[in-house]
Structure 1
Amino acid sequence: MPSSKNEEIKQEVSKIRNEIRLGVSFSVKTCKDYSLDWQACLDGLLDAGFQRFRIMSYWDLHEPEQGVYDFSLLDSQLEIITKAGAEATLCIGMRQPRWPETHIPAWALELEIEDRRSAYLAYHRLIIERYKNYHCIQSWQLENEFWNKGFGQNNDFSRSRLKEEFSVLRALDPNRPIIMSLGNTVGLPIFAPKPDLFGTTMYLVQYENGRYSHTKFKPWYFALRRILVRIFGWRDLLIHELQAEPWGPKANWEMDDQEQALSMNSDQLKRCVQFAKDSGMKYMDLWGGEWWYWRKTTRGDHELWATVKSLVSDSRSKA
């Protein structure tokens, strides 16, 4: 007979996979890139109606010197989310969303690889112990696109390290779901560790090799992939990163309005959300919250912000 702990996780997993309210990723580092006040941006996203956030626990921000910790930024984010009655997925791992993907402190880069892994695991344990009792945290995301070997800097593709991170997380917080994102849009999760849910990215327009390209995949492909992940990975698949910001030849804040609009604008945002819905997956986190707020406050783009609010309101009305 399954244990009560297993049943508790199953109930939480069912709640997550059937969640239809739109969520959004949020990065204090990206706010800094846009020269935004991160708290004003987070408050703005709450005002837009978001009640679910994907939050990062960047190692280099919170352990700037070995053994010297500063969790004030992360504490503040989660306190704001808690006060608003919202929920969060907390990302942990060396590899987390936003460039350079692996957010390793400068001091740790100077260590031998095994010493670096040991140093990270000490931080890993500390993060879990510190935040596992935060009720706003609905789930953990362990690493981000761990097996994506074509993107990021200072990558460490050690399966044994990943398995150890997973084991530590499960042991320290056995009742909260663990999500792991897949490394690309074609692979299948055959090998261990097996989380409670898998996540995927979904991008419709990208700038590559000197030109913009539109995805050749259709919604039915993602529906089929979800079925295959269930068969071979024994878990369900959700959308952890749905494109909702530009992907152009430069950083977004370096492109003019016309260039940004070639890969993302209000109409394209609506198409992206509809594309995701047509795949049959309900849970989706949008990727671009900092950009929308920057567009609104710096470029006076109230149309895009109104579109975001409308999409969020529509998703909440159907919950």
Structure 2
Amino acid sequence: MKILFASAHDSDPQSWIAPLQALVPQAEIHNWVDAGPSIGAQLAVVWNPPADIFLRETDLRAVFNLGAGVDALFKLPGFTEALRVVRLEDAGMAVQMAEYAAYALLRASRRFGDYESQQEKRLWKPLPDIQRKDWPVGVMGMGVMGARVAQTLAGLDYPVAGWSRSGKDLPGVEKFAGRGQLPSFLARSRVLINTLPLTDETRGILCRDTLQQLLPGAHVVNVGRGEHLVEADLLALLESGRLEGATLDVFCQEPLPQEHPFWQHPRVTITPHVAAASLREASIAQVAGNINRYLRGEPLSGVVARGRGY
């Protein structure tokens, strides 16, 4: 069994290949070589792989993605319906996502941004205490990431609701399901946190129509995909005062162009796609476990349902 490792984000592929090889000794793991010949790999471990990977390695049967988002793989030339795609389900990402969401929520509700401005002016001025009931949170997407976010924020005693395609029961989290319940979910949310996977159904879901249904003084937190957000609509709603602020970690174009208006907007906080990084050790253990199950003919965890895109 030959396995190909292909990642455009790692300058030291052996730091992945060597421990993977130790955990899957019955396979041969090879690093991608640009312009090299096909190695006849049956499996691939990838993260943002070269665009021609499926054209060159035509014997691939399954792809193990070193991340939760798999939408980019489906767009590569040569990708076929016969290929199984397996994504990371957590690998240390969920707790990071929860931390990021908590930061964004607390910065808005506790007005830490205002305190930063006051510090610059050497101004000592306690602001009014908050009432958590005035800061209802809505989490879009109830997968591993979204569920961890929702439960973490509910643990801070904020009123939290979760919305997803089919709904999910979580202690302390109000459940909303399907497009029919989306308006009710939005209408009760002041802080909207998006953790959805990117599919044809969710592309552009953060648009003028949905965002203007949020409670007054709303904040938007996007840690899903850049293509979920219609950036021009967000800017217009911020300028009009309909939205109070936004914390954005993902963008339609990355790196974000220097001339983009988000950079200097006073009510937009930007981070460079760092909300949740897959941790190397946990990722290797999860991928190796799935590969070994594949080799034994056992069921895999994290298999992407092609019809849903996640």
**Normalised by the size of structure 1, how large is the TM-score?**
0.30
**Normalised by the size of structure 2, how large is the TM-score?**
0.31
Q: Which of structures 1 and 2 has the bigger CA Rg?
A: 2
Normalized per residue, the structure richer in helix is: 1
